[in-house]
Structure 1
Amino acid sequence: MELPAALYEPTDDGYLATALTIGPWDPGLQHAGPPAALLLREAERASGIDDGQTVRMAFDIFAPVPVGPVHLRSSVVRPGRRIELLEAVLTAADERPLMRLSAWRMRTRTDGPSPEMAAEHPAAAGPEQSRPEDAAFFSEEVAYHRALDWRFATGSFNAPGPASAWTAPRCALVAGEPMTPLQHLLVMTDAASGISAELDWAKATFANVDLLVSLHRPPRGDWLGMDAVTTLGGTGAAQCSAVLFDADGAIGRSAQSLFVEPR
């Protein structure tokens, strides 16, 4: 099976989504992970802190993103030499905002206090000892689930309940350039509610309306992971939360608000 080399191809005025962005709910709509990473890339390109780190990313998903051409714009909401707030917005053909990112960045320091001892690693096993698995609920053979190499330390894509999984990129975010660890983290993290689903994919939808990622340090290395759990509210809402990690340990947390309804 031949896969596209990237999630997006650059165009004269934006980007063209490839089949690797296709989500699980509709073959014409993107999974939110790839556009989240594309928004982060756009925001960091507008940054005025060259040696900074992005510590909080809040994504609002106004509407599903079609698989096709997308456009982005960014702005510096709060400039600063040590701390800044950036915003990036993604639109499609009609220029209607579909996703928005608000991102705080801070200047990187090397003289700050370090933890006295390492915490226990969130994953029960490393990627080499974890189980490879493909998601069975995508309608298309080539779709988002092929963009990453998935290895499950606990749980499963294809069974309900909490799960802990490692991923490594199988493609670039934008053709012609390597995917950074932070971009990889965002391509992955929106799938936290997918690996920890509590409902049958064939009987219910549970798409998220937002994604919040908070990091105490940047991700490192090729393999990143998340330990995720979904909690049903019983009122048509649910929440997914995850601990995010790399080979050296935890790096932060994510949260998603889910809108739940029967198919």
Structure 2
Amino acid sequence: MELPAALYEPTDDGWLATALTIGPWHPGFQHAGPPAALLLRQAERASAIAGGQTVRLAYDIFAPVPVGPVRVRTSVVRPGRRIELVEAVLSAGDDRPLMRLSAWRMRSREDGAAPQMAAPHPAAAGPQESRPEEAAFFTTDVAYHRALDWRFATGSFNSAGPASAWTTPRCALVTGEPMTALEHLLVMTDAASGISAELDWTAATFANVDLLVSLHRPPRGEWLGMDARTTLGGTGAAQCTAVLFDAEGAIGRSAQSLFVEPR
């Protein structure tokens, strides 16, 4: 099977989403992971802190993002030499915002007075010891689930309950550019609620309206992972939380608010 080389192809005024962005709910709508990474890419390019680190990413998902042309506009909301807040907003056919990112960035430096604390690794096994798996619930053969190589240490895409999985990219984010570790993290992390689903995909929808990622250090390496759990509220809402990690250990956490209703 021949896959697109990237999630997005550059156009004169933005990007064209390829089939690898297609999400599980409708073949005409993107999974939120790829546009989350694209917004991060543009926010970092708008930053005035050279070599800085992005430590918190708060996404609001206003409406489904269509598979097609998209644009991103950015602004520095709170400038600073050491700390800044950058906003990036994605739109499609008109100027109506579909997704928004608010990203806090900080100056990066080695702090010898605050060494990283040793802790058990969040994953039960490494990527090479984990089980390869493909999601069975996508309605098209070429879609988001093929953008990453998935390896499950615990749980499964295709059964209910918590899960821990590793991923590595199978494509670029934008044609002609290597995907950075942080971009990879964002492509992956929005799927936390998918790998830890507590409901039958054919009987209910549980799409997230937001995504919050908080990092205590940047991700490193080819393989990144998440240990995810979804909690149903019984009132039409649910929450998914995940511990995010790389080969060296935990790097942060994510949270998603889910809107739940029968199909």
Seen in structure 2, the aligned counterparts of structure 1 residues 91 and 116 have a Cα distance that, compared at 3 Å, is: closer
Question: TM-score, with normalisation over the residues of structure 2?
Answer: 0.99
Amino acid corresponding to residue 70 of structure 1 in structure 2: V
1:49 and 2:49 matched: yes
Question: How big is each residue's C-alpha offset from its partner over 1:127-177, in whole Å with a ceiling of 9 and x where there is no partner?
Answer: 000000000000000000000000000000000000000000000000000
Distance in 1 (CA, whole Å) between partners of 2:55 and 2:116 is 21
Question: Where does residue 5 of structure 2 map in the other structure?
Answer: 5
Distance 2:165 2:113 in 1: 30
Residue 178 of structure 1 is matched in structure 2 by 178
Paired residue type of 1:176: G
Which letter does structure 2 place at the counterpart of 1:197?
Answer: A
Task: Establish whether residue 213 from structure 1 lines up as the match of residue 208 from structure 2.
Answer: no
State the match for 2:225 in structure 1.
225
User: Is there any run of 5+ residues in structure 1 with no aligned partner, and where?
Assistant: none
How far did residue 115 of structure 1 move? 3.4
Question: CA separation in 1, counterparts of 2:187 and 2:223?
Answer: 13
2:18 corresponds to which letter in structure 1?
T
Amino acid at match of 1:123: A
- Give the 4+ runs in structure 1 shifted more than 6 A: none
Structure-2 residue corresponding to 1:164: 164
TM-fit CA distance, 1:111 = 2.8
CA distance in 1, matches of 2:144, 2:116: 39
Match of 1:192 in 2: 192
Measured on the aligned residues, the alpha-carbon RMSD in Å equals 0.7
Alignment of 1:8-47 (within 5 A): 8-47=8-47
CA distance, structure 1, for counterparts of residue 85 and residue 117 of structure 2 = 31
Output aligned runs, 1:56-67, within 5 Å: 56-67=56-67
Opposite residue 192 of structure 1, the aligned amino acid is: A
**In the aligned structure 1, how far is the partner of 2:232 from the partner of 2:137?**
20
Tell me the secondary structure at the aligned position of residue 97 of structure 1: coil
Percentage identity across paired residues of the two chains:
85
User: Counterpart of 1:244?
Assistant: 244
Task: Determine helix, strand or coil for the equivalent of 2:188.
Answer: helix
Alignment partners' CA distance in 2, 1:231 and 1:116: 30
- CA separation of 1:93/1:116 partners in 2, compared to 1, >3 Å: closer, same or farther? closer
How many Å apart are 1:51 and its aligned residue?
A: 1.6
After superposition, what is the alpha-carbon deviation per residue over 1:51-88, rounded to whole angstroms, capped at 9, x for unaligned?
A: 21000000000000000000000000000000000000
Alpha-carbon deviation of 1:112? 4.4
Question: Structure 1 CA distance, aligned partners of 2:21 and 2:116?
Answer: 41
Once residues 165 and 131 of structure 1 are traced to their aligned partners in structure 2, the CA distance between those partners, rounded to angstroms, is 9
